[in-house]
Amino acid sequence: MPSLKILNQLCNRLHIEVGDIINRSDEQRIAQLLFDADFSFINYAYTKILNLLSEVNEDTLKRKTDQVHYQFLRGQYALKSDRNEMSALFYFNRVTAKHLL
């Protein structure tokens, strides 16, 4: 583990914030839930996907990447499981809106 000074210098060179690479416990939990939902899509475990996504409170997502990832997964679920194209379009539209902000 590099010292904070070296870590800060590395982040400055990469044009990122130290906070972008250090996850807090709640962010790690959310990242794991989203990863598990991704993996569940591979296995066509749609019930599990819905259960995982229901554990995520969209309003508390702090990182933009988590917000986009969540919306993308909701859109995928709506498209693949519910076969609801309008809902999928709603979530995918939110992905592009969050991405552009």
Q: Is 28 inside a domain boundary?
A: yes
Q: Is 5 inside a domain boundary?
A: no
d(CA 27, CA 61): 8
% of the chain at pLDDT higher than 90: 29
Q: When comparing pLDDT for 2 and 52, which is higher?
A: 52
Average pLDDT of every residue of the chain: 84
Whether residue 100 is predicted with pLDDT greater than 60 in this model: the reply is: no
Amino acid at 73: L
Q: How many CA atoms lie within 13 A of 27 on its CB side?
A: 12
Q: What local confidence, expressed as pLDDT, does residue 3 receive?
A: 75
Q: Is 71 inside a domain boundary?
A: yes
Whether residue 21 is predicted with pLDDT greater than 70 in this model: the reply is: no
d(CA 57, CA 43): 24
Q: How many CA atoms lie within 13 A of 79 on its CB side?
A: 12
Q: Is 51 inside a domain boundary?
A: yes
Q: What local confidence, expressed as pLDDT, does residue 2 receive?
A: 60
Q: Is 68 inside a domain boundary?
A: yes
Q: What local confidence, expressed as pLDDT, does residue 37 receive?
A: 92
| Counted domains in the chain | 1
Whether residue 26 is predicted with pLDDT greater than 80 in this model: the reply is: no
Q: What are phi and psi of 52, to 5 degrees?
A: -65, -45
d(CA 87, CA 91): 6
Contact 81, 50 (CB under 8 A): yes
Q: Is 45 inside a domain boundary?
A: yes
